[in-house]
Structure 1
């Protein structure tokens, strides 16, 4: 569910993995585009990482259905 939530927010905001990597770097979180792709595709990430990504792309509200 977390994987789909994050992918959906990225798509909704029009943010690519490369752009996400740049935004995370400004928060002193260093991930490559390829690493982000693998991590998100597998869904193997922590809740903290999910929150960091959402903060980086400016998501302030989530709708969980």
Structure 2
């Protein structure tokens, strides 16, 4: 499995948190990142990263 991480950006003033993410490949990692954002209201943005480099950025709709 490839090792990825999620940088979780909170809605309310807390510093971002990095969370490890195990995925088979980049496609699965992207899907898991989108699901993580949808499953909680605590975050307004999630960055998908691999080896410290940003791969993608997911933002919650403002509506």
TM-score (norm 2): 0.29
The structure with higher relative contact order (CA 8 Å, sep 6+) is 1
TM-score (norm 1): 0.29
Instruction: Give the greater-gyration-radius structure (CA).
Output: 2
